[in-house]
Structure 1
Amino acid sequence: MSEQPSVPVDADRLVPSDAHVLGDPDAPVTIVEFGDLECPYCRDAAPVLRDVVASSGGRVRLVFRHFPLFEVHPHALTAALAVEAAGAAGKFWEMHESLFEQQDRLDDDGLAERARELGIPAAEVVGDQVQQHADAVRRDYADALALGVQGTPTLFVNGERYRGRVTREGLEAAVSAAAAR
């Protein structure tokens, strides 16, 4: 059975007003990643995505949204809450990168250690206080389900679903196609 071509998704539906953006917020091309901080494939895609943004000359921005696969990854949800808490302290992308670098330490002790390394009090990223960020994670998760997301990383480039392995060449081709539209 062949796969049906994807229908572009409205960018407003993909990028909430409080989105975590890497790159120029006004870039003409937006890559939205629905990811899981405990997913090894997301960890492998992260440097590729950062490199595409960094080398784009301001043409590309990355938006990270949460799709914690909590049934498979026992620490994905607490990691999502912790990175949101770090975002409230202005350190979302630093914590994002740190969690991928230390993906084998996503328990509360590991999250607290990563926070301290970034100058964030540990109590802000673990425990009851972190629950104040649950609505953002729930919203991302619900939006992902509504879009048919089933695994991570799932990417959209200017609303078009990206298919295949996340490679620099593949993403650059998708970005070029999106810029031409």
Structure 2
Amino acid sequence: MATPLQVEARLRAPVTAQDHVRGPQDAPVTLVEYGDFQCRFCAEAHRNLTDVLDQRAETVRLIFRHFPVVNVHPYAEQAAVVAEAAARRGRFWPLHDWLFEHQDQLDAVHLSLGVEQLGLPVGEVDDEVSRELHDDRVRRDFVGGIRSGVRAVPALFVNGAPHEGDYDLPTLLSAVDHAAST
């Protein structure tokens, strides 16, 4: 039997041009992920979602939104803000991938090294982070997640409905295929 949270949970923040999108804009299936760069479960989901995008390239678009759980992951919010600074330079997805691949290196020093490895201007990014230029974006994503019923990460919505299954590849592919056929 569904709990009241499951019945009422629905993506409340619509996908907009400001979202980080991977995949075709006109894909029949939209996956919205609320994630935390320091969460190991989000890293596992990231690997599987990457495979889903590869295997269903014309069917799926992925939207990533920030949901840093700072009481558990002390570096997650800083990583999200740095990702937004990278996004300002058209490099969100490369930094997104770097962050998940280097979860054990999300302190300020290692974040700067990652920014440098991707060829981004470290001084400019550090300046934007210190001036909190991207904090509102991260907060907006977080609040949108709360409004949509997100309580833990990773949280995934398939065409606006919460994904209640596991995040292993077969389950995700099945969810995408089901959504594409309905």
3-state secondary structure, aligned to 1:45: helix
For 2:77 and 2:160, the matched residues in 1 are separated by 25
Are positions 1:142 and 2:146 aligned together?
no
3-state secondary structure, aligned to 1:166: coil
Runs of 4 or more, structure 1, over 3 Å off, are: 4-11
The residue aligned with 1:55 is 55
Are positions 1:178 and 2:142 aligned together?
no
For 1:9 and 1:61, the matched residues in 2 are separated by 18
Structure 1 residues 6-29: Cα deviation after superposition (integer angstroms, max 9, x where no partner) = 357368x23132111111122111
State the AA in 1 paired with 2:111.
L
TM-fit CA distance, 1:107: 0.9
Q: Is the 8 A contact 1:23 1:54 kept in 2?
A: no
Gaps of 5+ in 2: none
For 1:34 and 1:46, the matched residues in 2 are separated by 11
TM-fit CA distance, 1:74: 0.4
TM-fit CA distance, 1:173: 1.4
For 2:43 and 2:141, the matched residues in 1 are separated by 19
Structure showing greater relative contact order (alpha-carbon pairs closer than 8 Å, 6 or more residues apart):
2
Structure 1 residues 14-65: Cα deviation after superposition (integer angstroms, max 9, x where no partner) = 3132111111122111000000000000011111001101211311010000
C-alpha RMSD of the superposition: 1.7
Map 1:26-105 → 2, pairs under 5 A: 26-105=26-105
Q: Percent identity?
A: 42
State the AA in 1 paired with 2:43.
R
Query: What count of residue pairs does the alignment treat as equivalent?
Result: 179
Map 1:102-181 → 2, pairs under 5 A: 102-126=102-126, 128-130=127-129, 131-181=132-182
State the AA in 1 paired with 2:136.
D
Are positions 1:3 and 2:11 aligned together?
no
Structure 1 residues 135-181: Cα deviation after superposition (integer angstroms, max 9, x where no partner) = 11111001111111111000000011001320111111111221122
3-state secondary structure, aligned to 1:18: coil
Structure 1 residues 78-107: Cα deviation after superposition (integer angstroms, max 9, x where no partner) = 000001111111111110111111111111
